[in-house]
Amino acid sequence: MRQRPTRPLRQLGAVWPWALLLCAAAQAQNANPQQGEQIANNGLPPSVASCASCHGSKGQGMAAFPPLAGQGASYLRSQLDAFADGARGNPIMAPIAKGLTPQQRADVATYFASLPSGIAASPGQADAKDKGAWLVERGRMQDGIPACSSCHGPGGAGVGAHFPAIAKLSASYMQEQIDAWKKGSRPPGPLGLMEGIAKKLSSDDVNAIAQYYAGASGAAKP
């Protein structure tokens, strides 16, 4: 007969998620954006390249490399941690993230979060003739696909600390990320949402959404 956990153990189980949140909050409070700026612009030679070499001098993104400026610090830190521990694979980012200490990853994340994103929260129009616009603004609830804007905000400008801005991401980058969620090779994100949503999207859906956001008018050009 299985014994029920004792009261102290049950209490511990209820408390530990809050303890993790407090630890993350403490790390964010102790982050040093000035140190993060140094790493972002200069790297840590010889093993860690500068973030600016791929993501731009102000984190504005370049070509297939996504913008980092103005993204939530906790989101950026979680992605760096995922690259470092192998939960998210990328041949460029993995060695860079592994070359940084947890404190340095927090510093870099806080620095980029402090920069202006240049993305305006400009709602789009749902057009039934435009699959990308319709999925972004309305979703397809009969298939369990919510509107992208319900989490990522009007114009793909992002919402809060955990739902990043996705306007002006290159179409190829966005397609790669959605494919990674489909394959389970990228962490599912807040509340485990993205993996489940990605698996419900067809290739045509993914292409339409990616093309829509690549040309989103809510984003200011770098």
pLDDT interval class at 165 (50, 70, 90): very high
Largest CA distance in the chain: 64
Q: Is the dihedral of CA 100, 184, 67, 109 positive or negative?
A: negative
d(CA 104, CA 35): 8
Does 116 sit behind a cis peptide bond, omega within 30 degrees of 0 on the bond before it?
no
Where on the phi/psi map is residue 115: left (φ > 0), alpha (ψ -120 to 50), or beta?
beta
Q: What pLDDT, on the 0 to 100 scale, is given for residue 16?
A: 39
Instruction: Please name the residue ranges forming H helices in the chain.
Output: 7-30, 33-42, 52-55, 73-85, 93-98, 102-113, 131-137, 149-152, 171-183, 193-198, 203-214
Most confident of 16-20, 23-27, 129-133: 129-133
Average pLDDT over residues 166-174: 93
Cβ pair 59, 72 in contact under 8 A: no
Architecture of domain 131-214: Orthogonal Bundle (1.10)
**Residue 34: phi, psi to the nearest 5?**
-65, -40
State the helix-helix crossing angle for 203-214 and 171-183, rounded to 10 degrees.
Answer: 140
Percentage above 70 pLDDT, the chain: 82
Which of 1.10.760.10, 1.10.10.10, 3.40.50.300, 3.30.70.980 would CATH assign to domain 7-113?
Answer: 1.10.760.10
To which residue do tokens 């990320």 refer? 177
- What is the distance between the alpha carbons of residues 98 and 80, in angstroms, rounded to a whole number? 9
Domain ranges of the chain: 7-113, 131-214
Handedness of CA 178, 183, 189, 195 (dihedral sign): positive
- What is the tens place of the pLDDT at every residue in 184-220? 999 998 888 999 999 999 999 999 999 999 987 444 3
Interatomic CA distance for residues 206 and 117, integer angstroms = 24
Between these two residues, 76 and 128, which has the higher pLDDT value?
Answer: 76
Q: Would 7-113 and 131-214 be classified into the same CATH topology?
A: yes
List, for residues 26-45, the tens digit of each pLDDT value.
Answer: 455 599 999 999 999 999 99
Q: Are 109 and 73 in contact (CB under 8 A)?
A: yes
